[in-house]
Amino acid sequence: MKDNKNTRVVVGMSGGVDSSVTALLLKQQGYDVVGIFMKNWDDTDENGVCTATEDFDDVVRVCNQLDIPYYAVNFEKQYWDKVFTYFLDEYKAGRTPNPDVMCNKEIKFKAFLDHALSLGADYLATGHYAQVRKIGDKYEMVRGVDDNKDQTYFLNQLSQSVLSKVMFPLGHLPKKEVRRIAAEHDLATAHKKDSTGICFIGERNFKEFLSEYLPAQPGKMKTLSGVEKGKHEGLMYYTIGQRQGLGIGGAGDPWFVVGKNLKENVLYVEQGFGNDSLYSDGLTASQLNWVNEEPLTEVLECTAKFRYRQTDSKVTVTPIDNDKVKVTFHEAERAITPGQAVVFYQDEICLGGGTIDEIIKNDTPLDYVG
Amino acid sequence: MNGIYLDNAATSPVHPEVIKVMQKSLEEVYGNPSSIHQYGRKARQTLDNARKVAASSIGANEKNITFTSGGTEADNLALIGTALANQDKGKHIITTTIEHHAILHAAESLEKQDFTVTYLQVQSNGQINVQDLKDALTDETIVVSVMMVNNETGIIQPIKEIGEILKGHQAYFHTDAVQAYGLLDIDVDKLGVDLLTVSSHKVNGPKGVGFLYINENVKISSLQHGGQQERKKRPGTENVTGIIGFQKAIELAQAERDDRNLAYNTYKQLFLKKLESEKVSFSINGDLENAIPSIVNISFPGTNVEQLLTNFDLSGISASSGSACTAGSVEPSHVLSAMYGSSNDRTINSIRFSFGLPNSEDEVTEAATRVASIINRLIK
């Protein structure tokens, strides 16, 4: 085995505090660290201002502090083809996509990993809050110790060959500690605000952004029993369980999105947070990845997350075919959304995940969900 | 791994003798050249000496040399300064698609001020077709700017021919000679050039200095306002130490010109031969016969610039590609796009290697060996 000095680790640096500390920790451990900034999206505005330029400038400052070489690589085309096209297609299909999962699968841990390896890197490191454990000749993906920051949800599509090449040096640290380390070393990004939202949309208005790419088709808002409740601005702007922006006044409990009818361009709404139509007892999922690369052949009792930063729910997973499972909830779940990821866990170990297709209630797919 | 610097066209190391005279000047010449006391006079004297040396290096009169902060400022002054001062004679400008951004972006800024700019295309050999220039000229044309040697490909433009064409036309002829200076024989009268840009740090002088040759017949507006320095064409206290260093760099370049041409040409041949003997698949962008010895631009099919430059740097080879970068990532070269079309792979798989004083025959051979092993690893 190579010693650290002769082990080259490419760190994917975003200009944020997490990847900065990732590089710092690896440097302290004596690795041959190379910082690389990935540019996936051109958001240059009419004044020529581009957040990527500012982020790269932070990468430069941190790498100079750490005395490591830094470079950039442009994956705008790959990102557009593999992530953004999927993102738009899912919205067109009335679903709510998860571009971060796709970005990790297709860009960060595929195109970018290949790039790192072409530079003679032994490993690719990122600032994700997750851990990799080698048991025998298999790699396990383990949750980050900071419950609030654990990012295995977004990493559920990683394979054994990818895990054998990645390092997540922050996985064993709470975010607070990462900030403290950054401040202690006076890193240029120590006090930089965490980025929020989908990377290519950033702080912008989501509706405005989406309308630049997809024509909005306004239509009717109805209850499941067919009572008209107003107009919607385009189905893609709404997601299951959404309360804001419906503009339905009147007495009683607030109104929520409970489903969509793409064919008739109708948005279904119902009243009350606890409305029964928001609840389901199962789902089907496809585009599955099992981290251990062993296809599921028998029923699996485990826990699952249906969205990021949710506590786990107990589920039973039943294989239907090679790339389809049925997931049965032990307790009814609210606002499960097609297009989002379902990710499976056995205690601290992330087993893998897939994309939510159908929502099931009483053994029947809910046709109103979309 | 030990570093090998093959990016001399980006900037070049300062010659030790230049450092010596600059240090001496910092210690001894601290007066302001505009002051009317002995300290001022001494500074003025050294400044005038430098001006003489700069002028004679291009066959010009010393009165026609304006020192600037470098090539970019000289280009801006040349293009915008003449455009603004001569707009009564017309508002048409001609330049090329392969100019340095100092010209291209200055031209764009003039377009926003209602000037019309014709950008001449280049042929696939990297040169403009002089017939295109003839066709583009109108009675409204007030300035033509064509670079002498392209910074990315090293391709030499037919400056003398252009000078001939423009004889008798009202348009002033500016050429950016930043990459040519020190290697090519430059005589402004023989070339028929009215304005000419030179930069110090490309010829082993300090950064932050350059000059613009401005023929006395040229009407030009200064772009900044202040004192009487540089005949009011470029106000601001002169960078005396930088200019003294520049002078030394010019003297050395003049004295060693033949030797440098010979040496850089040898480096280029050695480099290419080694790539061939290592069975690297590559092709040269532009015509080797029309290129300056110091620059070669090579396309490596099946690779991409970012992968190449990063790999090269990690193995100690410093080279570069297209000029502009956004957020550190390399944009496809506008020069190669102009030569081959923007969808041609050459725009994203080409590297400029540029040779200079710090190099040696052993070094360039070693560099080619490392480059070859990287390319052969990447495309296997």
Let me know whether A28 and A162 are in one domain: yes
Q: State how far residue A62 is from chain B, nearest Cα, in angstroms.
A: 14
A302 in active site: no
Let me know whether B87 and B199 are in one domain: yes
Residue A48 lies in a domain: yes
Q: Please check whether residue B330 touches A, CB under 8 A.
A: yes
Let me know whether B84 and B202 are in one domain: yes
Which of B304, B307, B308, B310 has the highest number of chain A CBs within 10 A, making it the mutation to test binding with A? B310
Let me know whether A9 and A140 are in one domain: yes
Let me know whether B78 and B8 are in one domain: no
User: In chain B, which residues have their Cβ closer than 8 Å to the Cβ of A115?
Assistant: 306-307
Of residues A44, A52, A119, nearest to B311 (C-beta): A119
Q: State how far residue A150 is from chain B, nearest Cα, in angstroms.
A: 29
Q: How many domains does chain B have?
A: 2
Instruction: Specify the pLDDT at position B329.
Output: 72
Let me know whether B241 and B272 are in one domain: no
pLDDT of B50-104, one tens digit each?
999 999 999 999 999 999 999 999 999 999 999 999 999 999 999 999 999 999 9
Residue A198 lies in a domain: no
Let me know whether A56 and A175 are in one domain: yes
Q: CA B51, B209, B161: angle at the middle one, nearest 5?
A: 70
B325 in active site: yes
Of A47-56, B218-227, B367-376, the poorest mean pLDDT is in: A47-56
Let me know whether A64 and A128 are in one domain: yes
- Asked if residue A51 has pLDDT above 60, the reply is yes
* Structural domain boundaries, residue A346: 278-365
Let me know whether A98 and A9 are in one domain: yes
Let me know whether A85 and A128 are in one domain: yes
Let me know whether A74 and A155 are in one domain: yes
Let me know whether B261 and B251 are in one domain: no
Let me know whether B373 and B352 are in one domain: yes
Q: What's the whole-number mean pLDDT along residues A15-37?
A: 97
Residue A192 lies in a domain: no
**What confidence tier does B326 reach under pLDDT thresholds 50, 70, 90?**
low
CATH classification at residue A283: 2.40.30.10
Q: What's the whole-number mean pLDDT along residues A70-83?
A: 94
CA distance B254 to B158: 22
- Residue A198 CA to its chain's centroid (Å): 9
Let me know whether A38 and A66 are in one domain: yes
Helix (H, G, I), strand (E, B) or coil at A76: helix
- Asked if residue A193 has pLDDT above 60, the reply is yes
- For chain B, the maximum distance between any two Cα atoms, rounded to a whole number of angstroms, is 70
Active-site residue identified among A50, A63, A199, A350 = A199
- Asked if residue B324 has pLDDT above 60, the reply is no
Boundary-marking domain end, from A273, A292, A309: A273
Boundary-marking domain end, from B224, B255, B286: B255
CATH classification at residue B20: 3.40.640.10
Of A205-214, A282-291, B150-159, B336-345, the poorest mean pLDDT is in: A205-214
Of residues B314, B325, B326, nearest to A119 (C-beta): B314
Instruction: Specify the pLDDT at position A238.
Output: 93
CA distance A129 to A168: 7
Instruction: Specify the pLDDT at position A354.
Output: 98
pLDDT of B90-132, one tens digit each?
999 999 999 999 999 999 999 999 999 999 999 999 999 999 9
Helices and strands of chain A, counted as H and E runs: 9, 18
Boundary-marking domain end, from B203, B226, B255: B255
Let me know whether B245 and B287 are in one domain: no
Instruction: Specify the pLDDT at position A198.
Output: 75
Let me know whether B159 and B242 are in one domain: yes
- Asked if residue A205 has pLDDT above 90, the reply is no
Strands (E), chain A: 8-13, 32-39, 70-74, 123-125, 130-135, 138-143, 166-167, 219-222, 228-232, 255-261, 266-271, 279-290, 300-305, 313-321, 324-334, 341-346, 349-361, 364-365
Q: How many domains does chain A have?
A: 3
Q: CA B60, B63, B68: angle at the middle one, nearest 5?
A: 90
Q: Write down the ipTM of this complex.
A: 0.88
Instruction: Specify the pLDDT at position A356.
Output: 97
How many other C-beta atoms can be found within 10 angstroms of the C-beta atom of residue A64?
A: 12
Residue A118 lies in a domain: yes
CA distance A153 to A158: 11
Of A40-49, A163-172, B258-267, the poorest mean pLDDT is in: A40-49
Whether B328 and A50 lie within 8 Å, measured CB to CB: no
Q: What's the whole-number mean pLDDT along residues B359-373?
A: 98
pLDDT of B136-192, one tens digit each?
999 999 999 999 999 999 999 999 999 999 999 999 999 999 999 999 999 999 999
Residue A236 lies in a domain: yes
Residue A301 lies in a domain: yes
Q: What is the mean pLDDT of chain B?
A: 96
- Asked if residue B325 has pLDDT above 70, the reply is no
Whether A118 and B378 lie within 8 Å, measured CB to CB: yes
Let me know whether A94 and A151 are in one domain: yes
Q: Which residues on adjacent β-strands are paired with residue A33?
A: A9
Q: Which residue has the higher pLDDT, B161 or B325?
A: B161
Instruction: Specify the pLDDT at position A234.
Output: 94
Q: What is the mean pLDDT of chain A?
A: 94
Nearest CA in chain B to A41: B327
Instruction: Specify the pLDDT at position A99.
Output: 95
Let me know whether A14 and A60 are in one domain: yes
Could you say which DSSP state residue B328 is in? T
Q: State how far residue B317 is from chain A, nearest Cα, in angstroms.
A: 13
In the numeric block, the tokens 């999922």 are attached to A285
**What confidence tier does A201 reach under pLDDT thresholds 50, 70, 90?**
confident
**What confidence tier does A109 reach under pLDDT thresholds 50, 70, 90?**
very high
Q: What's the whole-number mean pLDDT along residues A293-309?
A: 96
Instruction: Specify the pLDDT at position A43.
Output: 77
Let me know whether A33 and A118 are in one domain: yes
Strands (E), chain B: 4-5, 65-68, 92-96, 116-120, 141-145, 172-176, 195-199, 210-214, 283-284, 295-299, 317-318, 325-326, 329-330, 350-354
Let me know whether B266 and B204 are in one domain: no
Whether B329 and A73 lie within 8 Å, measured CB to CB: yes
Boundary-marking domain end, from B255, B278, B304: B255
- Asked if residue B24 has pLDDT above 60, the reply is yes
pLDDT of B238-285, one tens digit each?
999 999 999 999 999 999 999 999 999 999 999 999 999 999 999 999
- Asked if residue A93 has pLDDT above 60, the reply is yes
Of A5-9, A266-270, A364-368, B296-300, the poorest mean pLDDT is in: A364-368
**What confidence tier does A369 reach under pLDDT thresholds 50, 70, 90?**
confident
CATH classification at residue A53: 3.40.50.620
- Cα-trace Rg, chain B: 21
Residue A207 lies in a domain: no
CATH classification at residue B338: 3.90.1150.10
Let me know whether B276 and B147 are in one domain: no
What is the count of residue pairs from A and B with beta carbons less than 8 Å apart? 55
Q: Are strands A219-222 and A228-232 parallel, antiparallel or unpaired?
A: antiparallel
pLDDT of A323-355, one tens digit each?
999 999 999 999 999 999 999 999 999 999 999
Structure tokens at A325: 């499972």
CATH classification at residue A252: 2.30.30.280
Q: At what angle are helices B240-255 and B257-277 packed, to 10 degrees? A: 70
Q: What's the whole-number mean pLDDT along residues B315-334?
A: 80
Whether B329 and A50 lie within 8 Å, measured CB to CB: no
Instruction: Specify the pLDDT at position A207.
Output: 87
Of residues A39, A44, A118, nearest to B307 (C-beta): A118
- Asked if residue A290 has pLDDT above 70, the reply is yes
Burial label for B139, CB within 10 Å (0-12, 13-18, 19+), is exposed
Whether B326 and A52 lie within 8 Å, measured CB to CB: yes
Instruction: Specify the pLDDT at position A119.
Output: 96
**Secondary structure element (H or E) that encloses residue B190, with its range:** helix B188-191
- Asked if residue A358 has pLDDT above 70, the reply is yes
Q: Please check whether residue A120 touches B, CB under 8 A.
A: yes
* Structural domain boundaries, residue B58: 16-255
Let me know whether B236 and B279 are in one domain: no
Residue A69 lies in a domain: yes
pLDDT of A111-152, one tens digit each?
999 999 999 999 999 999 999 999 999 999 999 999 999 999
- Asked if residue A196 has pLDDT above 80, the reply is no
Of residues A34, A72, A119, nearest to B328 (C-beta): A72
Let me know whether B184 and B236 are in one domain: yes
Above pLDDT 90, what percent of chain B? 96
